Amino acid sequence: MFDLSIISNTNKYNLHSHTEFCDGRAQMEAFARKAVELQFDIYGFSPHSPLPIESPCNMLSSNVNRYIDEVKRIREVHGDSCLFLAAMEIDYLGDAWGPSNDYFNSLPLDYRIGSVHFVPTRDGKLVDCDGRHETFVEKMHRFYNDDIRYVVETFYRHSIEMVEKGGFDIIGHLDKIGDNASFFQPGIEDESWYRSLVDDLIDSIISKQLIVEINTKVVEERGRFFPGIRYWKKLVDNNVPIVVNSDAHVPALINAGRDKAFECLKETIC
């Protein structure tokens, strides 16, 4: 498991970011320089993992060694100012592919983030349900016959399966489907069946003693964290380890929303 002691005395860290190796919009060097400029103590790179299917957002397996080499180079150049870590955000696609896959265990990673982005259609086609609201609505029409309950239930079922199989340290944006689902069907996150799904996932996380990420990627744009604040008390009361990550895709946003998250987390604890 990721050694949380390295961030126990600092809030100047970020363990979730995406660069040119996946869908990030700047090179790793630019992120490293911004981390040093902002006097971060620890900075983790976490490209979207290679997949056995085509995806424009995920890194190619042929680039993995180059990615690892680039982390080593950045450590040599900037390591006196900040501790740089190599990680991946690994997609769970089902039984055949996820963080527990032997391939990922063989890589020299400092930690692993497990996330669900793809939800299979009823006939098994894997569709990326992340991204913009408008795109999600189009996919609901095209692939899911507007069955939002099926999409949500499958997202959380896959999330629990991923947790049970293990192979990762941090669960990424555990209720992220709620953002697009709420745009498609306002109020869905307040419905009892939806809340029950999130509670079941959190119970599974507690039993496996995983680290939960508070993801601040859209808090400045949409005013919400992943997971939602309503779930933080249960996490805190059950001593779930928590990290605060910005999920940055551009260097300027590596600290976006994180200060607000720490303030809200302090209120939750107190």
Using alpha carbons, select from 266, 192, 176 the residue that is nearest to residue 224: 176
What is the residue type of 55?
S
* Cβ–Cβ under 8 Å, residues 211 and 171: yes
Q: How far apart (Å, rounded) are the C-alpha atoms in residues 202 and 232?
A: 10
Task: Number of helices (H) and strands (E) in the chain: give both, helices first.
Answer: 10, 9
Read off the pLDDT band of 96 (50, 70, 90).
Answer: confident
Which H/E stretch holds residue 148?
Answer: helix 148-165
Q: What percent of the chain has pLDDT over 90?
A: 98
Q: Give the phi and the psi of residue 80 in degrees, each rounded to 5.
A: -75, -20
Q: Give the phi and the psi of residue 83 in degrees, each rounded to 5.
A: -85, 115
Answer yes or no: is pLDDT of 1 > 80: no
The 10s digit of each residue's pLDDT in 236-265 is 999 999 999 999 999 999 999 999 999 999
* Cβ–Cβ under 8 Å, residues 255 and 14: yes
Mean pLDDT, rounded, of the chain: 97
Q: How far apart (Å, rounded) are the C-alpha atoms in residues 11 and 257?
A: 12
The 10s digit of each residue's pLDDT in 185-243 is 999 999 999 999 999 999 999 999 999 999 999 999 999 999 999 999 999 999 999 99
Q: How many CA atoms lie within 13 A of 213 on its CB side?
A: 28
Task: Please state the rounded mean pLDDT for residues 97-110.
Answer: 96
